[in-house]
Amino acid sequence: MRTFIIKANKAKTSPDFRLSDLPGTSGRIDVLCRFLNAAFLLSHGFRRNVRVWLLLYGPPNPPKAIRFEGAKLRVRLNPDELSTAKLIMNILEAGERLKEPGKELEVYPGLYVSNRTFEDVIRLTLKNSALYYLHEDGKPIGKVSFKGNVAFVLGDHEGLSKEDEAFLEGIAEKVSVGKKSYLASHVVAYVNIFLDSLTLPP
């Protein structure tokens, strides 16, 4: 089982953005659409062994945590950005009804929204997965021995904050796919293909 977690510090937490201008109006929800594409999609196929957490921290009601559970998902995830952005819009709309901090709402089968924080999600993930922070200064991915469930944390186009990095210190191993700074979706595509090549792929 593979978990991918992205913290999007500017991503809007209400559905009032325009699909015709995602980069300009949504706090870069387009980044999250490409992230989902990279995490789940195969050519004519879908990765059921993947979970994605999108952690949205933009205005007006941060945080919003959106969970995509590959094993249970019944909504069709299409490769294009717009259809995925519409889905996120619907989830954020449902999320506006959330009052209790601990509650998670199942918006569609396998698709959930909550007010969980980055720290909540990391703690939850640690219970059943080894945690890795994907960063260009990490240990080369080819030298890491992956066993059992694995979870990867990534920053958005602006990266994680110093506070978030301090929180991950000691609980997540820094792993790198290369010395350059790559787009989150490219890193996830790489990690998925890399993990597929292992003798016992998670």
Q: Kindly list the distances between the CA atom of residue 53 and the CA atoms of 5, 21, 24, in Å, as whole numbers in the listed order.
A: 5, 23, 23
- Phi and psi at 157, nearest 5°, equal -65, -15
Stretch that binds a second copy, among 4-12, 74-82, 88-96, 116-124 (CB under 8 A): 74-82
Cα–Cα dist 22/44, whole Å: 26
114 strand-pairing partners: 65, 104
Q: Is 41 in the site for a second copy (CB under 8 A)?
A: yes
Q: Is 76 in the site for a second copy (CB under 8 A)?
A: no
Cα–Cα dist 14/35, whole Å: 19
Stretch that binds a second copy, among 51-59, 93-101, 104-112, 175-183 (CB under 8 A): 175-183
What is the total count of residues that contact a second copy (CB under 8 A)?
Answer: 39
Q: Is 186 in the site for a second copy (CB under 8 A)?
A: yes
Stretch that binds a second copy, among 6-14, 18-26, 65-73, 106-114 (CB under 8 A): 18-26
Q: How far is the CB of 30 from a second copy (least distance, A)?
A: 4
Stretch that binds a second copy, among 30-38, 96-104, 122-130, 165-173 (CB under 8 A): 30-38
Q: Is 60 in the site for a second copy (CB under 8 A)?
A: no
DSSP character at residue 48: T
Cα–Cα dist 167/113, whole Å: 23
Q: Kindly list the distances between the CA atom of residue 59 and the CA atoms of 10, 33, 81, 94, 144, in Å, as whole numbers in the listed order.
A: 7, 18, 21, 16, 37
- Segment 105-164, which members bind a second copy (CB under 8 A)? 157
**Chain residues that interact with a second copy, rule: CB under 8 A:** 19-23, 30-31, 34, 37-38, 41-45, 78-83, 157, 177-187, 189-190, 192-193, 196-197
